[in-house]
Amino acid sequence: TQTLLRNIVLPRDAMLEEKNTLALKGILEIIAAAGVQNLNVVCQELQQLLGQYTRHKEQTIQQIEDALKAQLEQQLAAKGLDTSQINASMHPHYHEEVAKLSRDLNDQYIQALEQRKKLILEALGLANSQQ
């Protein structure tokens, strides 16, 4: 169980998403075998968190890109320059903002994931064991 829970991580790519799905499936099987059905809700929350993380990260990155692009367009337009070829993701400030966002978002979601994992371990009586 602990190994499966350790395999549940923030999905940075499709491979990790698949790994999370398999780990959750295994945990659900263990929960069913242990007869602790109330943990199904916690597993659903884990699954929702993983999906929300990906969407939240994509939306926030898009917002950063849109805001930076609007700012750059305004600056170039004020100078009378062409704004049609602006690529906000090439701007150094973009990468700084995305890195900061990623750290903050990761911290937030990791904390939520760890809380759910702890609930599962406690309910199965494995919170302090090394099984």
> 3-state class of 28 per DSSP?
helix
For 113, list phi and psi in degrees, rounded to 5: -65, -45
- Cβ-based neighbour number of residue 131 at 10 Å: 9
Domain ranges in the chain are 2-123
Instruction: Give me the pLDDT at residue 127, please.
Output: 66
In eight-state DSSP terms, residue 88 is: G
- 10-residue mean pLDDT profile of the chain (131 residues): values are 91 90 93 85 93 93 92 89 84 91 95 95 74 42
